[in-house]
Structure 1
């Protein structure tokens, strides 16, 4: 499941991922992000990932074919995750985006919000 949240006139998008990512949910999130990027220009993303159980193969392909082009337009990204392997893999983001990326543990959510807004 993907929950997508923005505040009016804010360049920050908060995305919550829990459980398994479906192709439908991912496509909806990518389309909303495209719209926010067109509206706000420079966009920052805070992604909270908890209890992640996987991604549908079709969604993985969608992420590669549609998501990477959107990710390249993000200027800063905070990833807040409960799984060590997700936080550790954030160094791979440099292959998909020029954004400054920083990983946080779930108990550091408020620090991530402060960082994404500075």
Structure 2
């Protein structure tokens, strides 16, 4: 299940994910949020919180995630992923070169730092592979 997080500026799509993500989570929540955030903007940022209750993604969700990433490839300014799941952090490190914007991963203990970074001007000035 994907839930939109409140309290972020309009150029940041902030979500938390729990349980097992399905294609419908993307179709009904994440994709519409991304499309809305892109109205009138060239680039947006994404903040993902994948807490301890996050389990996995169904194949349909993984496909929607890939399509979303490719269809807006040049529009990702920054992505912050907050999780204690090492396999997610490792996967992001492996595929980081495929992402146009800046990407940072954070453990759950540094959630405040991740939130501060994704809304700051530092996103624009962070070395790409940080």
TM class by smaller structure: 0.7 to 0.9
Q: CA contact under 8 A between 2:79 and 2:118: conserved in structure 1?
A: yes
SS at match of 1:32: helix
Report the counterpart of residue 107 of structure 2 in structure 1: 105
Change (3 A) 1:82 1:71: farther
When normalised by structure 2's length, the TM-score is 0.78
Report the counterpart of residue 15 of structure 1 in structure 2: 15
Report the counterpart of residue 40 of structure 1 in structure 2: 41
Distance between the aligned counterparts of 1:2 and 1:74, measured in 2? 19
Residues 82-102 of structure 1 show CA distances to partners (whole Å, capped at 9, x for unaligned) of 21121222221321x211000
Give the RMSD, CA atoms, in angstroms. 2.0
Q: Which has the higher strand share?
A: 1
Q: CA contact under 8 A between 1:49 and 1:79: conserved in structure 2?
A: yes
When normalised by structure 1's length, the TM-score is 0.85
Where in structure 2 are there 5+ consecutive unaligned residues?
121-130
Report the counterpart of residue 31 of structure 2 in structure 1: 30
Where in structure 1 are there 5+ consecutive unaligned residues?
none
